[in-house]
């Protein structure tokens, strides 16, 4: 299950926005930055499970809509002093197509719960 899946074209995702991909592993949020970089994270904030896809994207970060945790899109890690990590998924752009790899969970692993929760 390490195939790359074509999940849509870049313009399906608004700049500084996100869309959801439904998968057997649960919802995955696919983000697009102002510079057209794409990132994919499990659509659950490590804090209280908020849908990250609904957050405000700024720079290379997203702010969870429920309680305002800020996560790095590249690593899935919460910005200090919060501690936690949302699982990342490999995603890449070929031309204007967005390709997502769902089978392999890359580093970041299971979410940890933050000490500063």
Interaction site with other proteins (CB under 8 A): 5, 7-8, 12-17, 19-24, 27, 30, 34-35, 48-51, 54-59, 61, 63, 65-68, 70, 81, 98, 100, 102, 116-117
By beta-carbon proximity to other proteins, the closer residue of 13 and 86 is 13
> Measured from the CB of residue 40, what is the shortest distance to other proteins in angstroms?
10
* Closer of 5 and 93 to other proteins (Cβ): 5
Least separation, in Å, of the C-beta of 36 and other proteins? 13
Q: What is the closest distance, in whole angstroms, from the C-beta atom of residue 79 to other proteins in the complex?
A: 9
Distances in Å between the Cα of 104 and the Cα atoms of 2, 37, 50 are: 6, 20, 23
CB of residue 75 vs other proteins: minimum separation in angstroms?
Answer: 18
37 or 106: CB nearest other proteins: 37
- List the one residue out of 76, 61, 79 whose CA is nearest residue 107: 76
């Amino acid at each position: 299950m390490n195939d790359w899946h074509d999940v849509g074209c870049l313009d399906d995702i608004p700049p500084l926005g996100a869309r959801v991909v439904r998968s057997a592993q649960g919802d995955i949020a696919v983000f697009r930055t102002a510079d057209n970089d794409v990132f994919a994270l499990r659509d659950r904030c490590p804090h209280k499970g908020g849908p990250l896809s609904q957050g405000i994207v700024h720079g290379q970060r997203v702010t969870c809509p429920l309680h305002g945790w800020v996560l790095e899109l590249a690593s899935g890690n919460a910005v200090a002093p919060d501690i936690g990590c949302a699982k990342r998924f490999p995603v890449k752009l070929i031309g204007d197509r967005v390709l997502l790899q769902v089978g392999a969970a890359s580093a970041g692993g299971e979410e940890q719960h933050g000490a500063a929760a």
